[in-house]
Amino acid sequence: MKIGFLITARLKSTRLPFKILKDLNGKTVVERVIDRAKQIRDISKIVLCTSFNPQDKPLIDLAKKNSVEIFAGEENDVLKRFLGATNVFGLKYFLSITADNPLFSIKYSNLMVERLKKYKHDFIKIEGLPLGTRPYGLKTKALERVCNVKDIKDTEIWGYFFDRPEIFNVGCIKVKGRLKRPDLRLTLDYGEDYELINNVYSNITFRNTLELDKAIAYLDANSEIAKLNQGCIQRDLDRGIKDHIDSIFGGRTKTKFFIEKDKK
């Protein structure tokens, strides 16, 4: 059972140009993500998934430098890019995170792998972690089914396609304890996000990877740092696109298409 870890990475950001190449205590943001991915157990391949656009070539060189696989595919259709990578590397399941999340949870990524192996989820998510620390898990067959019916080409935000228990076997890991902090924003989209995350990486002592619980404890002890990005707005799909996705699947009920597929 081959499980991969796919890191989506582009250099097209306009709000914070070349954000994933910014420095975090001696390494780029994307290298910090790669280092964390290497700590996850039972992963067959770590793949940096970028595009054919020449602008993204530095990422190909960076993947080689850090001894991970590279896949260059669709620029805007992230789901098609995933599908290409799973086909090339023969992955049955995969976890995914974007390259602008250098504090994603290693602990819950490992738990997610265990759950995929045990329960064979089509889609698995985590509820309760800070924004930017939650990977997602997918079964390649579920990805194929969605790619076969969707007519949307910009799938940078893609969870809404799969978070459908009426169609898919959806798993959810609910966070408890000190890591349950959905109020914190630990992703990288704006200058304020970088100021916060860079401060965390610069002021906490760690060896290879910075533990998420240490980052949270530091922010709790330094409330002025934690407030730096409170005004940043997280992008989401607008209601019209969500309604269109619902219509593709026949609303929030199991469609004839998927019923017939299940029988095969």
What is the tens place of the pLDDT at every residue in 67-122? 999 999 999 999 999 999 999 999 999 999 999 999 999 999 999 999 999 999 99
Query: What's the pLDDT tens digit per position in 165-216?
Result: 999 999 999 999 999 999 999 999 999 999 999 999 999 999 999 999 999 9
pLDDT greater than 80 at residue 9:
yes
Domain ranges of the chain: 3-251
Average pLDDT over residues 37-65: 96
| CATH node for 3-251 | 3.90.550.10
Distances (CA, A) of 19 to 98, 189, 194: 12, 8, 8
With a pLDDT cut of 70, the percent of the chain lying above it is: 95
- Measure the CA–CA gap between 232 and 263, rounded to whole angstroms: 46
pLDDT greater than 50 at residue 264:
no
Distances (CA, A) of 180 to 64, 111, 126, 222: 35, 15, 10, 18
Centre a 10 Å sphere on the Cβ of residue 250 and count the other Cβ atoms it contains. Answer: 14
> What pLDDT, on a 0 to 100 scale, did the predictor assign at position 40?
98
Output the pTM of the full model: 0.94
Average pLDDT over residues 246-258: 68
Query: What's the pLDDT tens digit per position in 126-172?
Result: 999 999 999 999 999 999 999 999 999 999 999 999 999 999 999 99
